[in-house]
């Protein structure tokens, strides 16, 4: 059913609701990896993610009767906005069931397109079960976020655009939650060029597709734990699984800590906000064991709430040694704090926070603890500051940073 003709049809249809997301060549990531890295910025779509492609194409294939019944889906956020936006375009009602953990920005934007939002369950799978229940109860037409061949065909329009811009592309990295995007992209890529390599990327804490491929059948994880909420799926799609088995060349898994650092890289070097699921393909670049290849990383979305963004930035700075906390013991007498501050100032360290604890020792005249949270340029600068403190007679100890 996933034919070249259907992909061509979908690629034309989605132009009605999508922006042209031109490939961006990344000097920074190319230099870091030794490949020619291009970014496909689907975070720039109207709804902040690629999901509107599959939702709109799927709805276009429904009969008037099916649409008039009202639409329902379950989603951690991006498919929700895609269905809500597409339903608005067609002038039909949409109900979206979202996990209670969904970022507020995704909930509010889904509502802004006129959809009714029902918050239920902690993860997508629980929300999906509720959506099926409501569909049965009220007669709604269900639009599955990934386990639907028409939806996957719509998502595959991304690959059509990549090939038109970069016909000689050799590797495409695609995020995987339930597998709809990976199905569409890998199937069309192989139809256009069987030699191309399509690599799926999953969060290590929600690698349901990797587990399924290893088992040779669709497998349900006992639980998922990842900051990449858009790909926090326990069970991949049954209908699309055979296409993944046939067309996906490999899967890379990425730890959450790598996503935190990738977020910082994208903000600082490309001035782009990418949500954690969209960062999977950026973090995976360093795991790709090839050189001098033309690689496209699909940035699947950019819907991240400000509180999460703030937390990720802070953690990224800590992971990169741009912020760190050091503990030193000093005599409780005038001038000691000034000496420490002078040492740090001479090394161009910037003090963010000081904590002075007089009760760390019974003998206060012998020692009080000073915890200093500092801003540095990176690992080498951090080491330089630590050495300067040691040289001036202190015994600095790195401790956990709490901002």
Give residue 364's pLDDT.
56
* Distance separating alpha carbons of residues 170 and 232, to the nearest angstrom: 28
Give residue 3's pLDDT.
95
Residue 148 belongs to a domain: no
Residues 361 and 289 in one domain: no
Residue 147 belongs to a domain: no
Residues 31 and 68 in one domain: no
Residue 372 belongs to a domain: yes
* Distance separating alpha carbons of residues 201 and 191, to the nearest angstrom: 21
Residues 212 and 312 in one domain: yes
Give residue 369's pLDDT.
86
The last residue of a domain, from among 108, 142, 176: 142
Please name every residue paired with 355 in a beta bridge, in sequence order, or none if there are none: 371
Q: Is 300 a catalytic residue?
A: yes
Residue 301 belongs to a domain: yes
Active-site choice (157, 277, 297, 300): 300
Active-site choice (40, 51, 190, 382): 51
Give residue 362's pLDDT.
58
Asked if residue 143 lies in contact with residue 52, where contact means CB atoms within 8 angstroms, the answer is no
The last residue of a domain, from among 277, 297, 316: 316
Residue 223 belongs to a domain: yes
Give residue 365's pLDDT.
57
In 3-state terms, the chain is what percent helix, strand and coil (to 5)?
45, 20, 35
Phi, psi at residue 254, to the nearest 5°? -125, 135
Residue 210 CB neighbours (<10 A): 20
Residue 84 belongs to a domain: yes
Give residue 360's pLDDT.
63
Residues 40 and 75 in one domain: no
Query: Minimal CA–CA distance to 263: which of 280, 243, 286, 240?
Result: 280
Residues 214 and 289 in one domain: yes
Contacts 24+ apart (CB under 8 A), 207-213: 207/251, 207/253, 208/178, 208/233, 208/234, 208/235, 208/236, 209/176, 209/179, 209/182, 209/236, 209/244, 209/251, 210/251, 210/253, 212/236, 212/241, 213/244, 213/245, 213/248, 213/251
Residues 38 and 176 in one domain: yes
Residue 83 belongs to a domain: yes
Residues 327 and 186 in one domain: no
Residues 309 and 325 in one domain: no
Residues 115 and 100 in one domain: yes
Residues 10 and 26 in one domain: yes
Asked if residue 52 lies in contact with residue 16, where contact means CB atoms within 8 angstroms, the answer is no
Residue 284 belongs to a domain: yes
Show the domain range for 237: 4-50+154-316
pLDDT mean by block of 10 residues, the chain; 403 residues: 94 95 97 97 94 96 94 89 94 94 84 94 89 95 95 97 97 96 98 97 97 97 92 93 97 96 94 95 96 97 87 91 92 84 93 81 69 94 95 91 82
Residues 207 and 305 in one domain: yes
DSSP assignment of 5-32: HHHHHHHHHGGGT------EE-HHHHHH
**CATH number (domain holding residue 360):** 3.30.70.260
Total of domains in the chain: 3
The last residue of a domain, from among 100, 119, 142: 142
Give residue 361's pLDDT.
62
Residue 292 per-residue DSSP state: S
Residues 213 and 309 in one domain: yes
**CATH number (domain holding residue 136):** 3.40.50.1100
Give residue 367's pLDDT.
75
* Distance separating alpha carbons of residues 281 and 301, to the nearest angstrom: 11
H/E element, 399: strand 397-399
* Distance separating alpha carbons of residues 275 and 260, to the nearest angstrom: 10
């Amino acid at each position: 059913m996933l034919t070249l003709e259907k992909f061509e049809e979908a690629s034309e249809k989605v132009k009605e609701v999508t922006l042209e997301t031109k490939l961006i060549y990344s000097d920074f990531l190319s230099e870091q990896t030794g490949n020619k890295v291009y970014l496909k910025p689907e975070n720039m779509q109207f709804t902040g993610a690629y999901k509107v492609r599959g939702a709109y194409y799927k709805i276009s294939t429904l009969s008037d009767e099916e649409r008039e019944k009202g639409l329902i889906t379950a989603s951690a956020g991006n498919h929700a906005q895609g269905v809500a936006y597409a339903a608005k375009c067609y002038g039909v009602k949409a109900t979206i069931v979202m996990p209670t953990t969904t970022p507020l920005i995704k909930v509010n934007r889904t509502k802004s397109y006129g959809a009714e939002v029902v918050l239920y369950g902690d993860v997508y799978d629980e929300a999906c079960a509720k959506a099926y229940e409501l569909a049965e109860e009220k007669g709604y037409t269900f639009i599955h976020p990934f386990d639907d061949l028409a939806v996957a065909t719509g998502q595959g329009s991304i690959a059509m655009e990549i090939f038109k811009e970069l016909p000689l592309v050799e590797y495409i990295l695609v995020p995987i939650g339930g597998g709809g995007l990976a199905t569409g992209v890998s199937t069309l890529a192989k139809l256009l060029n069987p030699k191309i390599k399509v690599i799926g990327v999953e969060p290590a804490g929600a690698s349901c597709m990797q587990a399924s491929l290893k088992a040779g059948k669709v497998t349900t994880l006992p639980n998922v734990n990842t900051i990449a909420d858009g790909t926090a799926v326990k069970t991949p799609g049954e209908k699309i699984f055979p296409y993944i088995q046939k067309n996906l060349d490999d899967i890379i898994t990425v730890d959450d800590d790598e996503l935190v650092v990738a977020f910082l890289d994208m903000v600082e070097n490309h001035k782009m906000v990418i949500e954690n699921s969209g960062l999977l393909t950026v973090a995976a670049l360093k795991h790709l064991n090839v050189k001098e290849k033309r690689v496209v990383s699909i940035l699947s979305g950019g819907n991240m709430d400000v509180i999460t963004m703030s937390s990720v930035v802070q953690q990224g700075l800590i992971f990169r040694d741009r912020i760190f906390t050091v503990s030193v013991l000093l005599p409780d007498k005038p001038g000691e704090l000034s000496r420490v501050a002078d040492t740090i100032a001479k090394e161009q360290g910037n003090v963010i926070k000081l904590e002075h604890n007089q009760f760390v020792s019974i003998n206060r005249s012998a020692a009080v603890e000073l915890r200093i949270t500092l801003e540095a340029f990176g690992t080498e600068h951090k080491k330089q500051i630590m050495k300067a403190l040691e040289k001036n007679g202190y015994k600095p100890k790195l401790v956990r940073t709490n901002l």
